[in-house]
Amino acid sequence: MAGTITEKILSQHIVEGKPEMGQEVALRIDNTLTQDATGTMAYLQFEAIGIDRVKTEFSVSFVDHNTLQSDFKNADDHRYLQSVAQRYGLYFSKPGNGICHQLFLERFAKPGNTLIGSDSHTPTAGGIGSFAMGAGGLDVACAMAGAPFRIKYPKIVGVKLTGKLNDWVSAKDVILEVLRRIDVKGGVGKVLEYFGDGVKTLSVPDRATITNMGTETGCTTSIFPSDEITKQFLEAQERGADWKELIPDANAQYDEVIEINLSELEPMIALPHSPGNVKKVKEVGMINVDQVAMGSCTNSSLRDLKVVAQALKGKTIANNLHLTISPGSRQVVEHLMESGEMRYIVQAGARIMENACGACIGMGCAPSSAATSVRTFNRNFKGRSGTADADVYLASPEVAVATAITGVLTDPRELGEYPKIEMPEKFFVNDNMTLKPLVENEANKIEILRGPNIKPLPSFEPIGNVLEGNVLLKVEDNITTDHIMPAGAKILPLRSNIPEISKYVFEAVDPEFYNKAKNNNGGFIIGGDNYGQGSSREHAALAPKYLGVKAVITKSFARIHLANLVNFGIIPLTFVNSEDYDNINESDKLELVIGDLTGEVTMLNKTKDKEIKLTHTLSKLDAEILKAGGKLPWIKKTLK
């Protein structure tokens, strides 16, 4: 039977359900990854499940987010994470080793494997042919305990690439073009599978840039074939044994096809404050820029930074801005040092930051007030940079380096001849900062180390048939998890302390939300379309649950956040008629008759004496998990 790459991988991993679009299927998960901002909670949950050792083929715990250690909190979390990895049989990547997605691509990702990670940009591994998905930390904890991961069987969209990228145009421009066409919710319920002759012109790092930022379309994942280019990359990483060919059959049928001629693409840029707000650089014009930041899991590969280094050779950055560079891994840094190209970057005036996420999550490098920042990152949500009134633009390394040189937003083609770079035939392989899993008899002797900021998990009671309360907040379309649960240097260190971090829920939207929730003993949130887009952070569900939020009622949800709401016992409901969104105001008193959540839900707005019909996409299992009070009490009972 002819098949797409997606069909081939899923057919080998479905353990329950039928491969029919929109139907729930349960997948066997080969690998998991976590990072430290979400990992502490994921491992607290794994401990609570009561399994003695991870049951995946392998799992990896990375430290790359909370590396700005202004007090003991982050350092304590890292100590906890290392001891948990040693105790339960995980690989552990120490602070300074690099960004989780770049490292996983270099050292761990396998074509044909399934992967879930407690970070929404886990689909980066799709660049090597892995079926990789972002998920909440609790879903990752359950997968490590041996439970399958459930998704709705996706619509498979073939993205046909033809032609070849011109000089000064790169992989970032490809995914920006995809976003220009389908925006930030056009990928919901879909897999973006790349095929066509143009695929052969893209390296594995190029492909990974595209699959990484495919997350911003809302898709389940993005994936490329595993071909001779993939084989060459893995052999250069001394992992040739991990390669296997994985390509679509010649007569594979896609549910939808998007065609992109790479030869016709131009340098692109996403304008504030959405990755989907995309235009050609030449259309935007020469705006003044205060900061340029390069790196993140999207564009911190050796290929990207070699282009930057060669473009900067013999030049000095503009006087009116500053430039920061965050390499993706120690391997990238070592090669830049060996080739002498790191010198070009330093001599030009760039600030060399840690091999970590840093500025992308507001962990340092915040722009000045009302600044314009051009970044090679994947998100430009308002306030995410750490500066509420900054304008953040997303662009390729080529656009970013041209802008750093000129001081204004610049089409890089104006710089003249494209820099020639030489990629190594073999990469420097040094895994001394990645601790291997201990054998079981040694692992059982490890003491798990907890600092005072690591608090026990809150417990939640089963949900009744009728819910009552007030509307605590009404928000518009495209509310992100950054709106719900901010990141940044002040808040990220509290990720293992739910009572403290809950004080910042919706802080940027309504600074009084915490007090409203406490004074009203919880209540309801009303939202527009695509509620919960962005990060996989489960704290955007867990902290509201801690504050007593009972249900979120919207026009539509983003995939990962909807799953997180179910996991923590907050009922995700949608309007049968979206116009009813206008019939609810903040502070209205609501009564919901939810029953067993197998059909429509009736809501009475007591304040307006109006009945409103609600619906949901919950499976029978979702309903069972919700009624139990969340996935943790349910999984503990199930796995016994």
Q: What is the pLDDT of residues 182-205, one digit of tens each?
A: 999 999 999 999 999 999 999 999
Other Cβ atoms closer than 10 A to 197: 12
CA distance linking residue 412 with residue 428, whole number of Å? 30
pLDDT band at 232 (very low <50, low <70, confident <90, very high): very high
The mean pLDDT of 213-230, rounded to a whole number, is 97
CA distance linking residue 210 with residue 198, whole number of Å? 13
CA distance linking residue 480 with residue 275, whole number of Å? 12
* pLDDT score for 635: 84
- Please report how the helices 36-49 and 137-144 are oriented relative to each other, as an axis angle in degrees rounded to 10: 50
Instruction: Record the tokens describing residue 495, joined without a space.
Output: 């990720």
Taking only the tens place, the pLDDT of each residue in 455-507 is 888 888 888 899 999 999 999 999 999 999 998 888 888 888 999 999 999 99
The mean pLDDT of 17-45, rounded to a whole number, is 95
Active site residue 65: yes
Mean pLDDT score of the chain, rounded to an integer? 95
Q: What dihedral do alpha carbons 179, 182, 188, 189 form, nearest 10°?
A: -120
CA distance linking residue 250 with residue 5, whole number of Å? 11
* pLDDT score for 495: 87
30, 77, 119, 622: the active-site residue: 119
Of 429, 420, 296, which Cα lies nearest the Cα of 364? 296
The H or E element spanning position 32 is strand 31-35
- The DSSP result for 502-517, as a single string, is GGGTTTTT-TTHHHHH
- Does position 1 have pLDDT exceeding 60, yes or no? no
pTM over 0.85: yes
Alpha-helical runs (H) found in 116-219: 137-144, 171-182, 204-214
Taking only the tens place, the pLDDT of each residue in 40-55 is 999 999 999 999 999 9
Structural domains of the chain, with CATH: 5-264 (3.30.499.10), 268-413 (3.30.499.10), 466-638 (3.20.19.10)
The H or E element spanning position 229 is helix 228-236
CA distance linking residue 102 with residue 124, whole number of Å? 8
DSSP code, position 288: B
CA distance linking residue 198 with residue 472, whole number of Å? 50
Dump strand ranges (E) for 376-475: 391-395, 434-435, 466-474
* pLDDT score for 552: 97
Taking only the tens place, the pLDDT of each residue in 112-151 is 999 999 999 999 999 999 999 999 999 999 999 999 999 9
* pLDDT score for 67: 87
The mean pLDDT of 17-27, rounded to a whole number, is 95
Reported as half-sphere exposure (CB side, CA atoms, 13 A), residue 226 has a value of 25
pLDDT band at 408 (very low <50, low <70, confident <90, very high): very high
Instruction: Record the tokens describing residue 200, joined without a space.
Output: 């052969």
* pLDDT score for 2: 60
535, 539, 556, 561: the active-site residue: 535
The mean pLDDT of 163-176, rounded to a whole number, is 98
- Does position 345 have pLDDT exceeding 60, yes or no? yes
* pLDDT score for 499: 94
Chain-centroid distance, C-alpha 483: 15
Residue type, position 144, single letter: M
Low-confidence winner among 10-19, 94-103, 452-461, 556-565 (lowest mean pLDDT) = 452-461
The mean pLDDT of 416-440, rounded to a whole number, is 95
The mean pLDDT of 18-36, rounded to a whole number, is 96
13, 59, 65, 242: the active-site residue: 65
Taking only the tens place, the pLDDT of each residue in 571-620 is 999 999 999 999 999 999 999 998 888 888 999 999 999 999 999 999 99
- Does position 221 have pLDDT exceeding 80, yes or no? yes
- Does position 444 have pLDDT exceeding 80, yes or no? yes
Low-confidence winner among 163-167, 219-223, 353-357 (lowest mean pLDDT) = 353-357
36, 64, 173, 482: the active-site residue: 64
CA distance linking residue 100 with residue 356, whole number of Å? 8
- The DSSP result for 470-525, as a single string, is EEEEE--TT-BHHHHS--STTTGGGTT-HHHHGGGTTTTT-TTHHHHHHHTTSEEE
Active site residue 303: no
The mean pLDDT of 10-14, rounded to a whole number, is 97
Name the percent of the chain lying above pLDDT 70: 99
Q: Is 235 exposed, middle or buried (0-12, 13-18, 19+ CB in 10 A)?
A: middle
107, 384, 537, 559: the active-site residue: 537
273, 379, 483, 559: the active-site residue: 379
Of 287, 357, 348, 354, which Cα lies nearest the Cα of 323? 348
Of 298, 434, 433, which Cα lies nearest the Cα of 378? 298
- Does position 640 have pLDDT exceeding 70, yes or no? no
Active site residue 343: no
Active site residue 78: no
538: left (phi over 0), alpha (psi -120 to 50) or beta: alpha
* pLDDT score for 637: 75
What are residue 467's phi and psi, to 5 degrees?
-115, 135
Instruction: Record the tokens describing residue 640, joined without a space.
Output: 């016994």
Q: What dihedral do alpha carbons 323, 172, 267, 65 form, nearest 10°?
A: -20
- Does position 93 have pLDDT exceeding 70, yes or no? yes
Residue type, position 406, single letter: T
